[in-house]
Amino acid sequence: METNFNDKLEQQCRELQKKIDEEIEQQCRAFREEFDEKLRQQRREMQEEFDEKLRQQRQEMKEKIDEKVKQIDAKIKAMRTNVYGQMTGGRRIFETRSTSCR
């Protein structure tokens, strides 16, 4: 009779341990899913923030480059005007040609 009682007790312990293991596994799975979702959300937010900062930096760099290009174009135009003026002696080419053709 004692053996039968011990067998029943062992069986109940195994069943209880199995239920405990299943409950732990379920809670771990739920925690993992929740953690993974929070991690994905955080990654999305960080990526969006990074993309926005990158867009802003690109726009700022584009504006700076455009400004530099305008400055360089103005310098080139000024240099051309200066060289043109030196070549023509400060007169217009048409005036020089019409004077020399007479």
For the entire predicted model, the pTM comes to 0.52
Per residue in 65-86, pLDDT tens?
999 999 999 999 888 887 766 6
Q: What is the mean pLDDT of residues 2-28?
A: 93
Element (H, E) at 19: helix 2-88
Q: Residue 46: pLDDT above 90?
A: yes
Residues 73 and 65 sit within 8 Å (Cβ to Cβ): no
Length of the chain measured in residues: 102
Percentage of the chain lying above the pLDDT 90 cut: 67
Phi and psi at 92, nearest 5°, equal -80, 150
Residue 34: predicted pLDDT: 97
Residue 79: predicted pLDDT: 85
